[in-house]
Amino acid sequence: MSEKDFLTKTLTETTLTRRSFLKWSAALGGAAAVAGGVGFGLKKVKDIAQAAPEGKWISAGCWHNCGGRCVNMAYVVDGVVTKQKTDDTHPDSPNFPQQRGCVRGRSQRRQVFGADRIKYPMKRKNWEPGGGKKELRGRDEWVRISWDEALNLAASELKRIKETYGNASIISGGSRLLNAYGGHFTRWGVVSEGAWPLVREKMAGVDLMEGFFGGGGVQGAPDRMDYRKSKLVVLWGANPAWSSAGNPMYNYLQAKKAGAKFVVVTPHFNSSAVALADQWVPVRPGTDSALLISIAHYMIENDLQDQQFLDKYTIGFDEDHMPEGADKRDNFKDYVLGTYDGIPKTPEWASEICGTDPTLIRQFAHEIATTKPMVFSTSWAPARTHRGQQYCQAFFTVGWMTGNVGIPGGAVTSSSGHAQASFG
């Protein structure tokens, strides 16, 4: 089989999506006709529901990539989803919470039936294999093409690009097809979600993929019941009230009822802060690392770090605990104090960068350093910036300086906004 045939065959065989797509397109076309127009607004969906009330509820997966697997039900009338609901299979309770979906998952039918949704393959009118009239990019018309033409174009262009430039010239977020075709370039490992696994691997020693999926107690938050033993919960860069796997807000509220104090660190006073925060620490977007390092400065200056924990379980904190062969001057403590670069990373130094009041930084630093057990948790979001890995490193370092690891009600975790480990 030629490479082109292989690609065409594979693309065709992996077109469950395509078939579903066509089915949905047909359903959409029929529904639009019933609705009497090309557009498919909510009113028209409602009309269909009223005109054909004989639909039924079916289970439907949530296709978003958060990993939550919430209960999602679709009410289907004549092949068209007219409404959605989530878990109402049993009463909600702390010990048996409903597995309710978030707003994103519960509105995904609007993606399927949205007026802007592309329903068939299209290409730029003046695009040709090799690029065509590139000067018309962004200005060209779009024309509809057949599935066969689209698949043939995709296969022949992949073949041409591989032969001309090699596999490294193909960029993809991840594809078994392209892996089978010799591999591809990807963008991953420096920002947002991708910034965490490598840092977990290097700092916590967990396997890279295990680190990605929650191993090593670094990614994973404590069990939801364990939160109720915490005296303090820090939510850094998280807004689980808006979008999060599982039911974190319900369980956070249970922890609050059990007596935990909540501190929320975010650029804006978000919905989660409204519901939970006893204290809000504002920080400019993308400057969280500076805030963390100044917290470390306060702790070191006042000798508040859990030195016993650091000495026993970590390396690199001070010059007496450096890895073999490393330059002793590269230790974290001396960097924070400015021993060699002459820049002490004080709250005043950080405030110039992150905008947080130095007095508030000291108060916050004192609280997290002196309260046990504490859950020190972050979402992945603050790493969604240039050199996002620095945030991950600073977060774990400061968290571990408090020694809240391996104790009931305590944790240092990157799961606050994505808490499937604890609340799923």
Least distance in Å: CB of 98 to ligand SF4?
12
Q: Where are the beta strands (DSSP E) in 45-95?
A: 56-59, 73-77, 80-85
Q: Which is nearer to ligand SF4, 70 or 361 (CB)?
A: 70
Least distance in Å: CB of 418 to ligand SF4?
9
* CB-based contact 413:377 (threshold 8 Å): yes
Bridge-partner residues for 378, per DSSP? 236
Bridge-partner residues for 285, per DSSP? none
Bridge-partner residues for 56, per DSSP? 76
Residue nearest to ligand SF4 as judged by C-beta position = 105
Q: Which is nearer to ligand SF4, 245 or 283 (CB)?
A: 245
Q: Which is nearer to ligand SF4, 105 or 403 (CB)?
A: 105
Number of H helices, E strands in the chain: 19, 10
Would you state the torsion angle of the CA atoms of residues 316, 320, 324, 326, taken in this order, to the nearest 10 degrees? 60
Q: Which is nearer to ligand SF4, 100 or 362 (CB)?
A: 100
Q: Which is nearer to ligand SF4, 111 or 172 (CB)?
A: 111
Least distance in Å: CB of 250 to ligand SF4?
13
Q: Which is nearer to ligand SF4, 101 or 410 (CB)?
A: 101
Least distance in Å: CB of 179 to ligand SF4?
26
Least distance in Å: CB of 420 to ligand SF4?
8
Alpha carbon distance 85, 109 (integer Å):
11
Alpha carbon distance 412, 191 (integer Å):
20
Q: Which is nearer to ligand SF4, 107 or 172 (CB)?
A: 107
- Between the CA of residue 250 and those of 97, 254, 255, 266, 373, what are the distances in Å? 8, 6, 9, 20, 20
Q: What is the largest CA-CA distance in the chain?
A: 77
Buried/exposed 211-226: b ≥16 CB within 10 Å, e otherwise = bbebbebbbbbbebbb
- Token match 């938050």: residue? 221
- Between the CA of residue 12 and those of 170, 173, 181, 258, what are the distances in Å? 20, 20, 15, 55
- Token match 């059990």: residue? 258
Least distance in Å: CB of 357 to ligand SF4?
34
Least distance in Å: CB of 99 to ligand SF4?
8
Q: Which residues contact 207 (CB under 8 A, 6 or more apart)?
A: 201, 215
Least distance in Å: CB of 158 to ligand SF4?
31
The residue among 106, 111, 137, 109 whose CA lies nearest residue 123 is: 137
Peptide bond into 373 cis (omega under 30): yes
Q: Which is nearer to ligand SF4, 6 or 242 (CB)?
A: 242
**Three-class secondary structure of residue 81 per DSSP:** strand
Query: Angle 107-113-114 (CA atoms, 0-180°, nearest 5)?
Result: 85
Least distance in Å: CB of 87 to ligand SF4?
10
Q: Which is nearer to ligand SF4, 63 or 96 (CB)?
A: 63
Q: Which is nearer to ligand SF4, 70 or 350 (CB)?
A: 70
Q: Which residues contact ligand SF4 by CB under 6 A?
A: 62, 64, 66, 68-70, 101-102, 104-105, 245
Least distance in Å: CB of 414 to ligand SF4?
17
Least distance in Å: CB of 68 to ligand SF4?
3
First CA to last CA distance, the chain: 45
Query: For residue 60, what is the DSSP state?
Result: -
